[in-house]
Amino acid sequence: MASARGIPVRDTILWVEDTAEADLPVIFCLHSLWLDGSMFDALVTAAAGRFRVVRPDFRGQGSSAPHTGDVVDMDCCADDMNALIDMLGLRAVHLAAASMGGDVAVRMIARRPDLFASLAMLGSSVRDEPPDQLAHFTTFLEGARRTGFIGESLEVLMSIMFGATTRGRAEAQPMLTPWRNKLELTPASRWPALMGVLNRSSAVSLLPDIRLPTLVISGAEDIARPPDWGREVADGIPGGEQIVLEGVGHTPILEAPDTVIPLALRFFADATAR
């Protein structure tokens, strides 16, 4: 029976939504920074009857418990997620990883390759932030921490999360407005997660050891994780494949769901059949 609940995992409580079909292959969703598991709502609908979909919120994000330290790093998140998978008794898991979810996913697979069947990365990569971009984002976040994400700061954040084409499309506004509202209300408790992503270490060295079918879907307008970063992942994982979508930014599953979700489900189905 489907559930939405807080689950004690290691030293925190993670919010987990689970369609809970015991007889279906599992898609385990790893959300983007600033967003939460609800970014996969349309995937849940499309996967009904074909896949069980498990959607945790990362430590200190979404509806999971706040983090009491200064930083939540990618290794901590990976350990949380692998512990949750073990607690739920999941195996042959397909990972759907958006943005920071990819940084976490590669670490999860490197630690416990026995748990996973495939990896789809959506607007994601695994390198650390280049020094110039790190300095720029640090200055931006320091300003936003004082003022909140309002006015120009909110518009900059929206331009990071969603491509220019999407933001200019009238038909995309019903999707964008709720996320804009969430971004504007970013709580102070989110800062450890923000710092963890901004100051993340590279996981490029782990790529050659990832022996899973891997699909990387990149947006041509993604300024946070540009397509070249996605190509690095696809080239670094044996047999990895990249698809670049024109007119799409950092969040392909929300900006182009009619393209991305069928591609991902077909990829997961093919991986299940192997």
Q: Is the pLDDT of residue 155 over 90?
A: yes
Return the minimum-mean-pLDDT range out of 6-10, 15-19, 130-134, 218-222: 130-134
Cα–Cα distance for residue pair 114/131, rounded to 1 Å: 35
Query: Contact at 8 Å (CB) between 242 and 216?
Result: yes
Q: Is the pLDDT of residue 141 over 90?
A: no
The ranges assigned to domains in the chain are 3-273
**Whole-number mean pLDDT of the chain?**
96
- According to the CATH classification, is domain 3-273 in 3.40.50.1820? yes
Q: pLDDT per residue over 40-59, tens digit each?
A: 999 999 999 999 999 999 99
- What pLDDT, on a 0 to 100 scale, did the predictor assign at position 143? 85
- What pLDDT, on a 0 to 100 scale, did the predictor assign at position 161? 97
Tokens 């079909």 belong to residue: 21
SS3 218: strand
Alpha carbon 194 to its chain's center: 13
Those residues whose C-beta lies under 8 Å from the C-beta of residue 109, and which sit 6 or more positions away, are 95, 115, 116, 119, 206, 210, 212
Q: Is the pLDDT of residue 147 over 90?
A: no
Look up residue 175 and give its two tokens: 């999707």
Q: pLDDT per residue over 185-207, tens digit each?
A: 998 889 999 999 999 999 999 99
- What pLDDT, on a 0 to 100 scale, did the predictor assign at position 1? 82
SS3 32: coil
- What pLDDT, on a 0 to 100 scale, did the predictor assign at position 119? 98
Rounded mean pLDDT of 142-159?
A: 89
Closest CA to 225 of 107, 96, 127: 127
Q: pLDDT per residue over 246-272, tens digit each?
A: 999 999 999 999 999 999 999 999 999
SS3 173: helix
Confidence of residue 231 (pLDDT cuts 50, 70, 90): very high
Q: Is the pLDDT of residue 137 over 90?
A: no
Cα–Cα distance for residue pair 62/20, rounded to 1 Å: 20
Rounded mean pLDDT of 52-75?
A: 96
Closest CA to 211 of 116, 107, 92: 116
Query: Contact at 8 Å (CB) between 247 and 171?
Result: no
Query: Contact at 8 Å (CB) between 63 and 119?
Result: no
